[in-house]
């Protein structure tokens, strides 16, 4: 087991959590999945207060399912600001961990 993981030993200790954070140099930010639209599209409420149309790339579509209320990392398009690519989806455990560490902006914090 890697050194940077925390072990789960009891009910009140921390679980295995490793969550990446949005990288500012790549224009990434937090977002909440607002509405599933079909055809790999999701309406997302972003940390900057805008609502964007998100696109689920194939590598995420095959690996994990998206649900309404999921915490996401998104990257807005440079030429169309109302659209974005989804980079990462947090699990419920990871989202609650980030909430405890106060890493999620208050504008989208529903956890």
User: What is residue 37's three-state secondary structure?
Assistant: strand
The predicted structure's pLDDT at residue 89: 92
Q: Give SS3 for 91.
A: coil
As a whole number, mean pLDDT of residues 64-71 equals: 87
* Phi–psi pair at 28, nearest 5 degrees: -85, 150
Mean pLDDT, rounded, for 17-36 = 87
Quick one: average pLDDT of 9-36?
76
Confidence of residue 13 (pLDDT cuts 50, 70, 90): very low
Domain segments of the chain: what residues? 24-100
Q: Whose CA is closest to 73, among 86, 59, 58, 54?
A: 86
CATH 3.40.50.300 at 24-100, yes or no: no
Q: What is the largest CA-CA distance in the chain?
A: 49
Percentage, residues of the chain above pLDDT 90? 36
- The token duo for 77 is 């398009």
């Amino acid at each position: 087991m890697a050194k940077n993981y925390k072990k789960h030993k009891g009910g009140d200790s921390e679980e295995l959590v490793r969550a990446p954070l949005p990288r500012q140099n790549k224009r990434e930010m937090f977002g909440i999945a607002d509405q599933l639209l079909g055809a790999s599209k999701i309406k997302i409420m972003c940390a900057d207060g805008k609502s964007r149309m998100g696109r689920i790339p194939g590598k995420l579509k095959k690996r994990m399912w998206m649900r309404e209320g999921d915490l996401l990392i998104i990257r807005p398009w440079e030429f169309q600001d109302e659209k974005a690519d989804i980079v990462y989806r947090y699990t419920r455990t990871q989202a609650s961990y980030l909430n405890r560490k106060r890493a999620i902006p208050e504008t989208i914090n529903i956890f």
